[in-house]
Amino acid sequence: MARTLYPDTVGMCGVNCALASCFLSGRCRGCRSEDPRQKRTSKWKCRIRRCVLERQLNHCGECPVFPCPTRKSLDKLYRGRYRIDLAENIRRLTALGPEEWGRQVQADYTCPSCGGCIDPYRRACSACGRSMD
């Protein structure tokens, strides 16, 4: 499948980077960015990113072997530590496309109290501090 232009906020593995504190603070520009000056450098060694790029895909959901063993540990980590199902995120991204997926995820992570952004890693609103547990 030919690669198309996806926003930097759409992670190849199913992470919505727009909600990540490292993206919001400017330390990371997302796994799609090739800018070598960003402070978060873990993406350069990411096996999932490398696999998606080598296969010339937009994200894992376009791969005929999705879900695969390469994703297994990241999927387990996100489900256990953050209660985020990255495989389901990829399925939704595939079904909805990047724009609608981004809108829905943003709505899912909007604080019902103040309208601020819920940090999915801390499970609290970054504006008012309300816990989402």
The conformation of residue 118, written as its DSSP 8-state character, comes to E
Q: Which residue has the tokens 């601020």?
A: 116
H or E, element range at 36? none
Structure tokens at 81: 């530590």
pLDDT tens for the chain, 133 residues: list them: 545 578 888 999 999 988 888 888 888 888 888 888 878 777 888 999 999 999 999 999 999 999 999 999 999 999 999 999 999 999 999 999 999 998 999 899 999 999 998 988 888 998 899 998 7
Give the model confidence (pLDDT) of 36-60 as tens digits. 887 877 788 899 999 999 999 999 9
pLDDT at res. 69: 94
pLDDT at res. 3: 54
CB burial class (10 A; 0-12, 13-18, 19+) of residue 131? exposed
pLDDT at res. 131: 92
| Residue 55 CA: distances (Å) to CA of 51, 80, 129 | 6, 29, 41
Q: Which residue has the tokens 């450098």?
A: 41
Q: Which amino acid, one-letter code, is at 28?
A: C
> 28 by DSSP, 3-state: which?
coil
Query: What's this model's pTM, rounded to 2 decimal places?
Result: 0.84
pLDDT at res. 60: 95
